[in-house]
Amino acid sequence: MDEAKFKAELERIAKETDQDLKALFGTMSAMGTENTQEGAIFGGTGLNIHAPEDVPLSLKETMSYAALSGGKRFRPFLVHASSALFNAEQSLVKQTALAVECIHCYSLVHDDLPAMDNDELRRGQPTLWKWRDEAAAILAGDSLQSLAFEILSANPTPLNALPKAKLVNALAAAAGKAGMVGGQVRDLEAETKSTESKNGSGEAAPANFADVITIHSQKTGALISFSAESGAIIGGADEQSRAALRLYGEKLGLAFQLRDDILDIEGSAEELGKTPGKDEAAGKATFITALGLEKAKTFLENLHQGAIYALEPFGEKADHLRAAATFVCKRNS
């Protein structure tokens, strides 16, 4: 698949995801958009998540700000693209795509907090804690996390109850203590060790490559890997297919983070929509600190090829996913 076709498909899924998010948050969006009545029809699936009057207006505003401030919607794209391999049920595909994006948005809100990465700019706009305050950002993130599982578990039927249960279990694992949150803990601990080393000897100890792999396999890779594997779960595929997509997602997740590390060195604030150079200044454990820039670029290409190879069992049907791997490794934002 050529780059233009891939970008068109990515944009289509992003627009669809945005429409579903707007429908979900209802008419009182902080972004000023006119949306459908919340609690009525969500994304054509008939989900009734919650009544708008039950949600404090300030919370709805902060959740909307976090979820509707742009973004590539890459994880929902992976859900849709992997599901297409198995002709999976579209209503559950939509639910899964929305759920994983809610988890992703919550993670960004919490990552940006002063106690974490202390970022003031995200997607070209003030981060949520900077726009409102820290307490509002924490609570909006908490709500987006729980909303993900509310979406995913809604409207069970005898036919979809088992895949829903598997999806809830897999998403919880990807987002939790041995996944995204565990990776964030390891990342903060590595930063603390680097700071202590600087304070003690004047030089920071170089990051250990194996530690960097572990950190980012969890912090970034787990949610991307879930997104890639989710189509096989929804479609009731065999374990071999799930394992192939899981491997693809693992390679892709590391590649995504590695490209971020490179862009943190080489990118601009205008391109990235956030402040570059902060990871290096903060002593973060990155692939650049572990390998150096040139070796990191070589490793990125190895991950790219590994992701492509993992898709061989699916033939031409996986061209969207192959194009996604190329996009991740060559993107500038």
Average pLDDT over residues 321-330: 96
Residue 165 belongs to domain with CATH number? 1.10.600.10
Q: Are strands 125-126 and 121-122 parallel, antiparallel or unpaired?
A: antiparallel
Q: How confident is the model at residue 24 (pLDDT cuts 50, 70, 90)?
A: confident
**Residue in the structure block whose two tokens are 């794209």:** 77
Mention every residue, 6+ apart, whose C-beta is less than 8 A from residue 154.
47, 48, 49, 95
Average pLDDT over residues 191-196: 68
Average pLDDT over residues 18-42: 54
CA 101 to chain centre: 6
pLDDT for residue 26 is more than 60:
yes
Helix (H) or strand (E) holding 121: strand 121-122
pLDDT in tens, 211-263: 999 999 999 999 999 999 999 999 999 999 999 999 999 999 999 999 999 99
pLDDT for residue 316 is more than 60:
yes
Q: How confident is the model at residue 327 (pLDDT cuts 50, 70, 90)?
A: very high
Q: Is 107 strand, coil or helix?
A: helix
Q: How confident is the model at residue 196 (pLDDT cuts 50, 70, 90)?
A: low
pLDDT for residue 27 is more than 60:
no
Q: Shortest CA distance to 17 belongs to which of 64, 59, 77?
A: 77
Provide the Cα torsion 265, 270, 272, 273; round to 10°: 130
> With 0-12 CB in 10 A as exposed, 13-18 as middle and 19+ as buried, what is 76?
buried
Would you state the pLDDT for residue 267? Answer: 75
Burial code of 228-247, b = ≥16 C-beta within 10 A, e = fewer?
bbbbbbbbebeeebbebbbb
- Taking the C-alpha atoms of residue 5 and residue 194, their distance in angstroms, rounded to an integer, is 43
Would you state the pLDDT for residue 206? Answer: 62
Q: How far apart are the first and last CA of the chain?
A: 21
Contact by Cβ (8 Å): 97, 65: no
Domain count, the chain: 1
pLDDT in tens, 110-160: 999 999 989 999 988 999 999 999 999 999 999 999 999 999 999 889 999
pLDDT in tens, 51-82: 556 789 899 999 999 999 889 999 999 999 99
Q: Shortest CA distance to 261 belongs to which of 222, 186, 209, 310?
A: 209
Would you state the pLDDT for residue 44? Answer: 42
Domain span holding position 200: 3-330
pLDDT in tens, 278-314: 776 767 889 999 999 999 999 999 999 999 999 999 9
- Taking the C-alpha atoms of residue 297 and residue 223, their distance in angstroms, rounded to an integer, is 23
Contact by Cβ (8 Å): 77, 9: yes
Would you state the pLDDT for residue 39? Answer: 38
Q: At how many degrees (to 10) do helices 239-266 and 209-219 cross?
A: 110
pLDDT in tens, 157-189: 999 999 999 999 999 999 999 999 999 999 999
Mention every residue, 6+ apart, whose C-beta is less than 8 A from residue 7.
327
pLDDT for residue 276 is more than 90:
no
pLDDT for residue 86 is more than 70:
yes
